[in-house]
Amino acid sequence: MAIGPDGEMYISGIKSLWVLYFFPTFVVVKSTDVGNPTTMPTFTPTLVNMGGVYFYYYYFSIAFGPNPQGLLGQIWIAVDHSRSPSRGNVYVLAPVVSPCLLDPLDIHFIRSTDGGATWSSPVRVNDDPFGNGAWQWFSTMSVAPNGRIDVIWNDTRNTGQINLSELYYAYSLDAGKTWSPNIPASPVFDSYLGWPNQEKIGDYYHMISDNSSANLAYAATFNEEQDIYFLKLGDCNNNGIHDSGDIASGTSQDLNNNLIPDECEP
C-alpha cells in the first residue's frame, strides 16, 4: 500500500493467477475516502501494463529459480511526497518475465502523473544486456522526501548461476524517466543456503529513503546461513549528501564513471 499527499490510498497486486500469458495481470486499486471514518471506503481498480507477467513464471521457478519455494519479489507501489513538480506521482515496480521469454526476470517500472488514471510505458531498470539469461529478483523501491526514487534487487548477471546473486542499486532523479547505471552493492551470496523448513529465502526486503540515502534491510547468506543485514545506499562517504550530488558538484571525483565517489573505492 501507499498513501498519497492528499490521503488517497493506492494498493498494487495481481488480478488473477489464471489469466492467459499475454493478458495484463497487474492491477492498481485506488481509494479517495479511506480517511473518512463515517463511510465505508470505496476502491477503483485499474489494470496496468508492466511489460510482462509475474506469476506465470513463478510456477516454473519452483524447480528452476533462485528462490524455489518462495516469492521472486513483491509488487511495490510508492507515491512522491516531495515539494517538486513530481509531487503526487505514483510509481509501481515489479520483477516480470517479458513476453519474448529471453530473460527469466527483469525489473520493470511504470509511473502515473495523474493520480493513477493513466500510466506510462514500462521501463526496464536493470541495464545488463537483454537476453543474457540473468535473473533480477526481489526488487524493492522507496521514494526519498526530495523525490529521488531508489530501487534495489538481487542479480545473477555476473555469476551466470541461478543461485549466486549480488545486490544491485539504481536511482532516478527525474521521476523515473531515466535511471542511473546499475551499481553493484554487495558481495555474491548463495540463495540456496540456510533454507529453513522450505526451500526459500525471506519473502521480501524493505527499504526507506531519506534525502541522502536509501536504508535497506535484507536477507543474505554471507555467513552460509540466512541473516538480516542493514545497508545504507547512496551516501558512501556519510556526508549527508547523495553520491549523485557529490559527483555533480565536484565534491567527489568519479574518474571511472561508475557513480561511486572515488574516495569510497579501494
Grid-cell match 518475465, residue found? 97
- Per the CB < 8 A criterion, the answer to whether 203 and 187 are in contact is no
Measured distance CA(20)–CA(26) in Å, rounded = 13
pLDDT tens-digit series, residues 141-159 = 999 999 999 999 999 999 9
| Tens digits of residue pLDDT in 94-115 | 999 876 667 889 999 999 999 9
- The pLDDT tens digits of the residues spanning 67-78 come to 888 888 889 999
**Segment 246-261 mean pLDDT:** 93
Query: Of residues 124 and 24, which shows the higher confidence score?
Result: 124
pLDDT at 18: 55
Hey, how many other C-beta atoms are within 10 angstroms of the C-beta on 211?
16
CA–CA dist 12, 27 (Å, integer): 6
Torsion sign over Cα 155, 159, 160, 162: negative
**163, burial (CB in 10 Å: exposed 0-12, middle 13-18, buried 19+):** middle
Statement: the pTM of the whole predicted model exceeds 0.85: yes
Of the listed ranges 32-36, 100-104, 184-188, 230-234, the least confidently predicted one is 100-104
In the chain, the domains with their CATH numbers are 2-234 (2.115.10), 236-266 (no CATH)
Let me know: does 222 contact 189? Beta carbons within 8 Å. Answer: yes
| Nearest in space to 192 (alpha carbons), one of 166, 157, 155, 226 | 226
CA-nearest of 110, 91, 141 to 24 is: 110
pLDDT at 54 over 80: no
